[in-house]
């Protein structure tokens, strides 16, 4: 895994997160005036997230533009960040989060959410906690984390994919989806293992942010 922040100069906050062969880059702009105006909320800010896979991110060239899947993942990231960012401290404002997947081997929504969380922290937004996200699943009888595309497509053994997102210090789940079939007991095990994996990602996120601000203080 790799994590770094402050990689896009003209953004208020930015980050890159890589896990295995999946890499996501996030940029945060704002707080700024809400556009369009009818989305404005008098008591809190709003987050608008755009998710996009770069055409060269997969072996079969991805189609340019935003499709329904991209929109769905953008909503997933937004919903998770709504639980992490203290939007009530930024009324009548908008946070724009742009996430780009530069390399994909499954788990793109989890890598994107982790990168977006770090970018929000890098922008100096008030937050309850960072979001650490990882996908778990079951391949045959084995429960594992961070499935590859090949493992996700291994339908012969009824593969299961469970994207998860956590606020580790709050012990809260902000993302939980399920693709496939799994028993309630196995889902409980996947979530518990997911928490362990997220704890490792969480430490990496904090180190990346500390490294960034330590370097800034030196300069």
Q: What is the mean pLDDT of the chain?
A: 91
Task: Reply yes or no on whether the pLDDT at 157 is more than 60.
Answer: no
The boundaries of the domain holding residue 204 are: 2-218
Going by C-beta distance under 8 Å and a sequence separation of 6 or more, which residues neighbour residue 47?
78, 81, 82, 85, 87, 94, 95, 97
Q: What is the CATH number of the domain that holds 39?
A: 3.30.230.70
Distance of alpha carbon 180 from alpha carbon 68, whole angstroms: 20
Express each pLDDT in 72-88 by its tens digit.
999 999 999 999 999 99
- Please tell me the predicted confidence (pLDDT) of residue 57: 73
* Mean pLDDT confidence for 144-168: 82
Q: How many other CB atoms sit within 10 Å of the CB of residue 157?
A: 12
Task: Reply yes or no on whether the pLDDT at 142 is more than 90.
Answer: no
DSSP 85: B
Task: Reply yes or no on whether the pLDDT at 187 is more than 80.
Answer: yes
Q: How many domains does the chain have?
A: 1
> 153 burial class (0-12, 13-18, 19+ CB within 10 angstroms)?
exposed
Express each pLDDT in 197-213 by its tens digit.
999 999 999 999 999 87
* Among 40-54, 62-76, 118-132, 161-175, the least confident range: 62-76
pTM over 0.85: yes
- Please tell me the predicted confidence (pLDDT) of residue 59: 62
Distance of alpha carbon 188 from alpha carbon 79, whole angstroms: 22
**pLDDT class of 150 with cuts at 50, 70, 90:** confident
Task: Reply yes or no on whether the pLDDT at 155 is more than 80.
Answer: no
* Cα dist from 83 to 53, 75, 144, 165, whole Å: 24, 13, 26, 11
Express each pLDDT in 6-40 by its tens digit.
999 999 999 999 999 999 999 999 999 998 899 99
Going by C-beta distance under 8 Å and a sequence separation of 6 or more, which residues neighbour residue 43?
88, 91
Task: Reply yes or no on whether the pLDDT at 112 is more than 60.
Answer: yes
CB contact at 8 A, 157 and 140: yes
Distance of alpha carbon 124 from alpha carbon 105, whole angstroms: 30
Task: Reply yes or no on whether the pLDDT at 156 is more than 60.
Answer: no
């Amino acid at each position: 895994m790799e994590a770094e922040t402050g990689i896009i100069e003209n953004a208020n906050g930015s980050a890159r997160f890589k896990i295995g062969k999946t890499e996501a880059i996030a940029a945060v702009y704002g707080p700024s005036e809400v556009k369009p105006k009818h989305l404005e909320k008098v008591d809190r800010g709003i987050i608008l997230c755009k998710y996009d896979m770069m055409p060269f991110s997969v072996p079969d060239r991805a189609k340019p533009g935003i499709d329904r899947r991209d929109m769905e993942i953008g909503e997933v990231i937004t919903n998770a960040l709504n639980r992490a960012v203290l939007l009530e401290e930024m009324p009548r404002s908008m946070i724009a989060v742009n996430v780009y997947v530069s390399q994909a081997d499954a788990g793109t929504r989890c890598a994107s959410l982790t990168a977006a969380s770090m970018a929000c922290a890098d922008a100096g937004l008030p937050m309850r906690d960072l979001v650490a996200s990882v996908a778990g699943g079951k391949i045959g009888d084995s429960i594992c984390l961070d499935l590859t595309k090949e493992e996700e497509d291994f339908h012969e053994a009824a593969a299961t994919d469970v994207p998860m997102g956590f606020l580790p210090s709050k012990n809260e789940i902000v993302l939980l989806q399920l693709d496939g079939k799994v028993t309630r007991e196995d889902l409980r095990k996947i979530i518990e293992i997911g928490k362990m994996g997220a704890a490792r990602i969480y430490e990496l996120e904090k180190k990346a942010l500390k490294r960034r601000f330590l370097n800034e203080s030196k300069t």
